Amino acid sequence: MKLWSMPPRWLQESLPGIGVFFALLLPYLTLPMLWDGRWYFNCMSNAAHAPFHFQNFLCFQHPSFLFIGIFAIPEHFFPGSLPWLHGIVLIWGSLSIIAFSAICQKLLPHAPPLTRILATLLYATQPVIVANATAFNPDIGITYSLVILLAFLLYDRIAWIIAAGILLTFTKETGILFYTLAILAHWIFLVRPHFRSTFAALRASWQRIPLLLLPQVLFIIYSVSGIAFFEGKDTGSLLRMLTSFSLLEPRFLLMLKEIFLFQFTWLQTGVIAIAAFVWFWKWDRGALPRPTQDTRLVWLLAALYGAGAYCLTRYLYVNNLRYFMALFPLGSLLFAASAVHLLSRRNLANHLLMVALLLQTVSLFYSADPLSRAMFGTFSFGERIMYPLGKVDGCIGRDQLVYNLQHLELSTIQDAIFEHIRPTRETTISTHGDAWFGFNDGVDPVTFRRTSAAGAVMPRYMAAADIISLPHPPQEVWYIEYPNFVNEHELSTLRERYDTAHVSEFRDGGYGIRVHQFRLKPQGLSAAE
């Protein structure tokens, strides 16, 4: 008798993707949270250590009870332990990669195994998703849970479908949106075709429908409990936003560029568009073969992709790529299916998938797409460049940089700067007012790395205007010149009372941040004394 058997094919084919995913993220298990990730971390930490109250887990008016709760449990027992937090994201992401591979098994049942492996690798290395796996926000939970939900739907695991739906619902508002769209698309394209009429399909599904509606029922209970929904918008305004807009609205066009064209995504979008054109051409000529289960699955994914993109571009107020992350796995699946449909001979689809994977891998580490450079511009980060996302529509331009792994160099170089400064409680550090949060943490007194653990030294972080207005200003100020902001105003402000003692550039792999060391001018020194 065999003591073990070979794992399912979809599990085997997910292993390369999981391996690459681990290799990309393991170096960041102790990475401190930055920007919005820091806000969410503080909210989660407060919920973990305060007396239990449901409201504490609803960060920034989002229905994030379950998402925050998952991370609050280890935080309660191991305060400030970043490996626990990053480890949960790593495991969650790995489960979604397995689920993605299982979806590929249903979507591409007759394709060579290499095709499904390459498609799974495309998901495992998607730059925006990988970058946000190093951050801490509910949107990464929405993305991973949606992929897992789709796999359970295709394999008809009713209890797990409901569990995934509830998790989506209480991660962020977009969770109930995608759950509803996924359930509806699944019924239309995969359930209804097996029956002669819609009534017959509904009659056969009557026992399942109440169970599948449980997440919606829970969300209705939540939304009528007095807690704000979509930042206080009422039902009427939500419907108006959904049905009224201009195709030429600049913000709408910007979102379309980010969803369908950014960082070589235009290759995937182009292939999907060509495949759709060929399909409609065959349909018009009456040359389409009889639909099969996998072709109906393509329609399901296309409907979910289009409806999800439409809804997200209607309701978002602040532009950020992470809000669109849940669409990117759907795009990867449609791209793989389109490549197989268009290039089925001589494994040409695999060559196209390899090209896409190569370009995407480059995009993980570099802002190299010429079309994205033309659309969004660039700014210099030492010898490297990045796209100034966020600045193009008037936002601050911090979290918008979490589109690949380049932004992590800010954190790496920041630690090198602190190792040089060796800050104490009397050290005064300044920078652009919008650059902080995540970079103004406590500092380990031994390693001088940023940390939120107990015993950390907290330097004096002050704005330039506040420093020069002090009656007794510090004799020395360190100004960190973050490259994603224009720093001339702050530097000019400090020069009113300080002389520049030294300017250094701290570098890592071609990236660089300049640090100005200021000393109080003699007249200021006399006043300070």
Q: What is the pLDDT of residue 289?
A: 67
Per the CB < 8 A criterion, the answer to whether 118 and 305 are in contact is no
Q: What is the pLDDT of residue 232?
A: 47
By three-state DSSP, how is residue 429 classified? strand
44-86, pLDDT tens digit by residue? 999 999 998 888 888 888 888 999 999 999 998 998 888 999 9
Taken in order 354, 356, 359, 361, the sign of the CA dihedral is negative
- DSSP assignment of 76-107, as one string? HHSTT-HHHHHHHHHHHHHHHHHHHHHHHHHH
Average pLDDT over residues 94-115: 95
Residue 275 scores a pLDDT above 50: yes
By three-state DSSP, how is residue 333 classified? helix
Classify the phi-psi angles of 510: left when phi > 0, otherwise alpha if psi is within -120 to 50, otherwise beta.
left
Q: Report the distance separating Cα 272 and Cα 205, nearest Å.
A: 33
Q: Confidence band (pLDDT; 50, 70, 90) for 19?
A: very high
Residue 53 belongs to what H/E stretch?
Answer: none
Q: What is the pLDDT of residue 228?
A: 47
Residue recorded with tokens 């532009």: 319
Instruction: At 477, list the tokens.
Output: 């100020």
By three-state DSSP, how is residue 153 classified? helix
Residue type, 270: G
Spans of all domains in the chain: 9-365, 406-528
How big is the CA angle at 98 (ends 180 and 349), to the nearest 5 degrees?
Answer: 95
Residues 6 or more apart in contact with residue 38 via CB below 8 angstroms: 32, 437, 438
User: Model-level pTM?
Assistant: 0.91
- β strands within 356-470, DSSP E: 379-381, 384-386, 428-430, 442-443, 450-451, 460-461
456-490, pLDDT tens digit by residue? 888 999 999 999 999 899 999 999 999 988 899 99
Q: How many residues does the chain have?
A: 529
Q: What is the pLDDT of residue 478?
A: 94
370-421, pLDDT tens digit by residue? 999 999 999 999 999 999 887 655 566 688 899 999 999 998 999 999 999 9
Residues 6 or more apart in contact with residue 284 via CB below 8 angstroms: none
Q: Report the distance separating Cα 370 and Cα 357, nearest Å.
A: 17
Instruction: At 117, list the tokens.
Output: 């492996």
Residue 515 belongs to what H/E stretch?
Answer: strand 511-520
C-alpha dist (Å) from residue 75 to 50, 51, 78, 238, 446: 12, 14, 5, 36, 23
Instruction: At 497, list the tokens.
Output: 């009372």
**Helical segments of 286-383, H only:** 293-315, 327-342, 348-365, 370-376
Q: Pairing state of beta strands 511-520 and 476-481?
A: antiparallel
Q: Pairing state of beta strands 428-430 and 460-461?
A: parallel
331-361, pLDDT tens digit by residue? 999 999 999 988 877 688 999 999 999 999 9
Give the rounded percent of residues in the chain with a pLDDT score beyond 70.
90
Q: Report the distance separating Cα 387 and Cα 375, nearest Å.
A: 9
Q: What is the pLDDT of residue 92?
A: 97
Residue 3 scores a pLDDT above 90: no
Per the CB < 8 A criterion, the answer to whether 406 and 385 are in contact is no
Check residues 330 and 321 and name the one with the higher pLDDT: 330
State residue 511 phi and psi, 5-degree precision.
-90, 150
